Amino acid sequence: MNALHLMNAAGQLPPELAREIEDQLTDTLNRHAARLDLDGVDVALRVLPWGLPETGVHGYAPTGHSVELTVDPGHAAVRTGWRTELPATLAHELHHVRRWRGPGYGHTLLRATDFGFETWFYGSAAQALPRWAGYTLGFDLVGRALRQLGGAAASHAHTPAAVILAAAGRWEE
């Protein structure tokens, strides 16, 4: 069983919006958990002003059994885009949950993360890396690997990183 926990005791989300968010995220959780063969996942949605500047939403999957989502209802982008951003963020984080349950995460991303997570994912003028460079690198790497290996990304959640890197070609770990 998977569970969505809407943390709204203070009523920061109006009741109608809270119900709509809960319905949509429950549907997203059920669909993606079934596709990824996930059971025993707790998803907590908190109202906090710590979302991404572009969206007002943020997600994190610290373990193979939990996802934390934050939403800032006062952020302009949340008012117009939560129906896209919250489900997409939850789906993204559920893929991390699946990976945690499989081979997990290594200590390097092609040794590139020596600069640190923030540099690769939030950008760095000093390192000449644009925002989201790590996602772009990962998208390209996995795309190359999938063209060689076949199948959908979800079917390779347990594929060892060395196999992905070898299939991507010209990459070293």
Q: What is the pLDDT of residues 8-38, one digit of tens each?
A: 999 999 999 999 999 999 999 999 999 999 9
Phi-psi label, residue 67: left if phi above 0, alpha if psi -120 to 50, beta otherwise = beta
- 86 in the same domain as 149: no
- 158 in the same domain as 83: no
Domain limits for position 84: 3-101
- 118 in the same domain as 80: no
Does a structural domain hold residue 135?
Answer: yes
The total number of structural domains that make up the chain: 2
Which tens digit of pLDDT belongs to each residue from 76-127? 999 899 999 999 999 999 999 998 888 776 644 454 455 577 787 888 888 8
Does a structural domain hold residue 107?
Answer: no
- 67 in the same domain as 146: no
User: Residues 86, 30: contact at Cβ < 8 Å?
Assistant: no
